[in-house]
């Protein structure tokens, strides 16, 4: 199967533990809608912007996904805290549940969202 790349942002737009960049996942179904990408531990991670507890967006202000320690992603509505490396809820009302991860890659100074050809499902 052929993988398609969809540009999200330049790699330098993501600072480790800093603001994320929001983007939209196109298409019908559960996986369509708002998403975000962050950098943590030198790696890039992307998730649907949807809390695992109640389907609301996580960021309290656009791009503000990390808590005050810059080590956990936090839902501004419910206080659920997620490990940025795997999206697993480590504290809060949905402990043990996970954010929906999306495939991303960093190449040549750019960050791309990956889909299979002809599909936005990951």
Assigned domain for 91 exists:
yes
pLDDT tens readout for residues 28-82:
776 788 999 999 999 999 999 999 988 899 998 999 999 999 999 999 998 999 9
pLDDT band at 120 (very low <50, low <70, confident <90, very high): very low
Count of the separate structural domains present in the chain:
1
Instruction: Please say if the pLDDT value at position 5 is more than 90.
Output: yes
Rounded to an integer, the average pLDDT of 4-13 is 96
pLDDT at 60: 80
Assigned domain for 11 exists:
yes
Give the domain extent around 94.
3-116
Assigned domain for 121 exists:
no
Of the candidates 120, 55, 34, 40, the one whose C-alpha atom is nearest the C-alpha of residue 86 is: 40
Task: Please state, rounded to an integer, the average pLDDT across all residues of the chain.
Answer: 92
Assigned domain for 76 exists:
yes
Assigned domain for 71 exists:
yes
CATH number of the domain to which 35 belongs: 2.102.10.10
For every residue of 47-81, DSSP letters joined together read EES--SSSS--S-SSTT--B-TTSSSEE-TTT--E
pTM: 0.91
Put the strands of the sheet holding 43-48 in their side by side order. Answer: 21-25, 33-40, 43-48, 101-102
């Amino acid at each position: 199967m052929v993988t398609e790349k969809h540009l999200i942002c330049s790699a330098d737009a993501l600072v480790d533990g800093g603001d994320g960049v929001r983007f939209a996942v196109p298409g019908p179904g559960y996986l369509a809608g708002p998403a975000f990408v962050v950098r943590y531990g030198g790696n890039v991670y992307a998730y649907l912007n949807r809390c695992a507890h109640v389907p609301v967006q996580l960021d309290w202000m656009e791009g503000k996904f990390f808590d005050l320690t810059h080590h956990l992603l936090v839902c501004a509505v419910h206080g659920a805290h997620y490990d940025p490396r795997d999206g697993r809820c480590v504290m809060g009302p949905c402990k043990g549940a996970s954010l929906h991860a999306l495939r991303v890659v960093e190449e040549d100074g750019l960050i791309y969202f990956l889909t299979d050809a002809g599909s936005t499902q990951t």
